Amino acid sequence: MIIDNFEEIKNNLYPVIIVGSGPAGISLALKLEKQKINCLILEAGKEKYDHQSQQFYEGIVIGDSITNLKHSRLRQLGGTSGHWGGWCKPMDRYNIESWGLDYNEISEYSDETCDILSLKNNFSKSQLNNYFNQIQFQYSKVRFAKKFLGIIQKSKYISLVTNAHVSHFIGDNGVVKSVSVKINEKDYSLKSKIFVSSCGGVENSRILLWTKELNNNLINKDIPIGNYWMTHPWIIGGIGVIKKKKLRKLLKDKFIDHDGPLHIATSSNIVSEKKILSGAIYMNATEDNKIYKEVIKDLLCTSPEYGKKIAKKLFDKDLKCGNIFMNLEEEANRNNRITLHKNIKDKNGIPITQLFYKKSPKTLFSAKTIMQEFGKFLINKDIGRIALKKEIENLENYENLGVHHHMGGTRMGDDLTKSVVDKNLKVHEIKNLYVAGSSVFKSSGYSNPTYTIVQLSLRLSNEIKKKIS
């Protein structure tokens, strides 16, 4: 149910309190409902976008430029799913297993995840060679607020309060006793057995850092909250052309035929052999003769003979060419971190986010290596040619086209000096505080994060059920 008058239920005891109503929080609540476990969701924003509420996401970035933190996420019911692009794909096995998790244990939640995201559990993959696979993304049109608001309104197990500004968790000696929240300009301290922070790849760290500062005896001072923050660099790696008919002939019945760009991703082999990070290539299938001409000009310089062949077939509609986009894994660097600003606070008196961020040289090296090896594959099979951007070929720089995927900051692991939560998403040395969302990712991989966020949230519900039992 949606709670309009909080005064009427302020003394109710909920076994689980979830902070945040994005994909992580709502997915967790839906699963708890199936298990007949009551929960209370505290959402800082309103049901719809509100400019004044969005100002609480103001932050300062020091280092390399990224998308403004106030614009790259939404403070409203449904969280940032309110404007996401919908690209969905499970993380590769080698990415998940590098976190110390059993891939099969995570993938068992795939059917439920696809049901939440209104997808078909069918993500095809075809091997091109030892280094590359053709992969398939699916596109979810789900807006969590729109799809699940009615379900929450009718639910006997899920209660939701909007405009509930959580400040910090309160407790000592490894136990959280309550959460401090401001609702309709009044301060409350809400008790529960289990607390879950599911506020995204920035706010999870911010709330825990503020908690750590206000509660000396609750969170171990050595736990690196905010560190190892990551994103997905989305860049243009170069330009090129590829013959779709030849690629189809090469893969035969394994060719993945669907609308949209061609998706090519790294395998675990190239990652381990070349000592690089994972990545994916997207070649736009939209026909654009103007782009053709620009590409051919460059190819005539970098590969004259092939450029001449392509020039003769300029209007061949099977030709795919243009910019080559790349979605890249970013190295987990301890120095890329979220901190609390020492001087600037929001209207509720909480320090705003201060993010230190520098691009990763290994990510740049990985982009170059992926493009070079993919170029060799195209030449070997005579199905296309590509040309790297000069700044990438010279290992000088890359331009982030948009930074909207925030990961890390409360990463999982066994070592409390290098991680914040364990594999069950419980904060180290605290009995009843969990974190859900992309902030727990140990590495970013190349896949968009929402699918994995939902999987981990569904898995967390079973851990909470055991804890309550």
Over its length of 469 residues, how does the chain's per-residue pLDDT go in tens digits?
Answer: 887 777 777 777 899 999 998 999 999 999 999 999 999 999 988 888 888 888 888 899 999 988 888 888 878 787 888 888 888 999 999 999 999 999 999 999 999 999 999 999 989 999 999 999 999 988 999 998 899 889 999 999 999 999 899 999 999 989 999 999 998 888 889 999 999 999 999 999 999 999 999 988 899 989 999 999 999 899 999 888 888 888 889 999 999 887 667 899 999 999 999 999 999 998 864 444 454 555 555 554 455 555 555 555 544 544 445 788 999 999 999 999 999 999 999 989 999 999 999 999 999 999 999 999 999 999 999 888 888 999 999 999 988 887 888 999 999 999 999 999 999 999 999 999 999 999 999 999 999 999 999 999 999 999 999 988 7
Amino acid letter, residue 101: L
Q: What integer pLDDT is reported at residue 442 of this predicted model?
A: 94
Name 402's bridge partners.
Answer: none
Fold of 6-61+72-121+141-225+410-468: FAD/NAD(P)-binding domain (3.50.50)
Q: What integer pLDDT is reported at residue 56 of this predicted model?
A: 80
Query: How far is residue 396 from each of residues 39, 106, 363, 364, 456, measured CA to CA in Å?
Result: 50, 38, 12, 8, 37
Distance CA 453, CA 405 (A): 12
Instruction: Starting at the earlier edge strand, list the strands of the sheet with 279-283.
Output: 125-127, 132-135, 262-266, 279-283, 319-328, 234-243, 384-388
Helix (H) or strand (E) holding 70: none
Asked if residue 334 lies in contact with residue 224, where contact means CB atoms within 8 angstroms, the answer is: yes
Q: What integer pLDDT is reported at residue 318 of this predicted model?
A: 47
Instruction: Quote the tokens at residue 274.
Output: 């070349």
For residue 307, give the nearest of 298, 315, 318, 316 by alpha carbon.
Answer: 298
Asked if residue 453 lies in contact with residue 84, where contact means CB atoms within 8 angstroms, the answer is: no
Query: Can you give the pTM of this predicted structure?
Result: 0.90
Distance of alpha carbon 118 from its chain centroid, rounded? 18
Query: How far is residue 8 from each of residues 4, 166, 180, 193, 301, measured CA to CA in Å?
Result: 9, 19, 18, 21, 73
Amino acid letter, residue 30: L
Distance CA 78, CA 46 (A): 10
In the chain, where the domains are located: 6-61+72-121+141-225+410-468
Q: What integer pLDDT is reported at residue 72 of this predicted model?
A: 82
Distance of alpha carbon 230 from its chain centroid, rounded? 9
Q: Report the relative pairing of strands 186-197 and 14-19 from DSSP bridges.
A: parallel
